[in-house]
Amino acid sequence: MSAPPTAVSREAAIRAGLAAQRARVRRGLLLRYLGLAPFVVFAGFPVYWMFITALKEVNDLYNPQNFPFWFNMAPTREHIDLLLSGTQFNTWLLNTFEISFFVVLITLLAATPAGYALARLNFPGAENRAIGIFLTYLVPSSLLFIPLSRVVANLRLQNSKWALVLVYPTFTIPFCCWLLMGFFKTVPREIEEAARVDGCSRVGAVLRVVLPVSRPGLMSVIIFAFTLAMQDFVYALTFVSSAAEKPVTLGVATDLVRGDIFYWGELMAGALIVSVPVAILYSFFLDHFVQGITGGAVK
């Protein structure tokens, strides 16, 4: 018969088991990071390319003999200084945020009551109307700008940033309405009914109970509408031509491309200044955005 295990052998077996478990965890993490590495490189390379292009000397940037993925000469702020002082970039940036602010405001004021009505009021044809509203979002902007140009002309908003404030909600409201409709359906009716039993009207229950609970959905609407208003190019090119009224997407693309001459340093500097702060800001609201898209109001 074999001798019973001693305390020393049991301790050695426990240590060996823990070491094997730690090794498995390390291998799992390594495989996970190796799997994510291509996606990180794919997502981060454009930002890296914008960064080095914005800081390269002109002779370094246009010399085909130089190594393109790093600095062959000392970095410079020449392109950034020229962008900020030699163009109307600050005006374009201000116009972009002003347009985006009003588009987000209009989208919230229109999509919130519409989404609530489609989700809660149970009137005939609510589901079909919701589908119809969402289908309008799928219509390409290249088709809509033709009739919208007539509306803009009748309102005498040609060549004005307010024309963009008018037309951008045509593609932000349909999707945001559909998004909020799905989100409001996840809010338990019991909490709204309890508020009404306590004396709130329907509007009061919505303002005091439903909307605070639906904050992730509202944040998703804000992020979505803000992003679409910032990145649009077709409508801006169609309705705005004055340099003082352009948003940054149109101003950078038109004023820094002259014929076959591309001011790559200034173009990349403008893209970097606009995109990186917005991406960092979005990272702080990522959890709210994911929760709003997946439609989870109350856990």
pLDDT of residue 287: 66
Ranges 168-172, 181-185, 277-281: which has the least confidence: 277-281
The three-state secondary structure class of 298 is coil
- pTM of the predicted model, to two decimals? 0.79
The three-state secondary structure class of 260 is coil
The predicted-structure confidence for 78-116, as pLDDT tens digits, reads as follows 888 888 888 888 899 999 999 999 999 999 999 998 888
Specify whether the CB–CB gap between 187 and 210 falls below 8 A.
yes
Reported as type and span, the H/E element at residue 84 is helix 78-86
Ranges 116-125, 175-184, 233-242: which has the least confidence: 116-125
Domain boundaries, the chain: 7-61, 78-294
Ranges 146-160, 221-235, 239-253, 267-281: which has the least confidence: 267-281
Token readout for 238 is 């169609």
| Residue tagged 């972009």 (tokens) | 96
Q: What is the mean pLDDT of residues 128-135?
A: 76
pLDDT of residue 1: 47
Ranges 11-20, 89-98, 202-211, 226-235: which has the least confidence: 11-20
Phi (first) and psi of residue 252, to 5 degrees: -65, -40
d(CA 185, CA 239): 38
Q: What Rg do the C-alpha atoms of the chain give, in angstroms?
A: 27
Single-letter amino acid, residue 114: A
pLDDT of residue 94: 92
d(CA 245, CA 233): 14
User: Is the torsion defined by CA of 167, 170, 172, 173 positive or negative?
Assistant: positive
**In terms of Cα–Cα distance, which of 51, 89, 49 is closest to 69?**
49
Confirm or reject CATH 1.10.3720.10 for domain 78-294, answering yes or no: yes
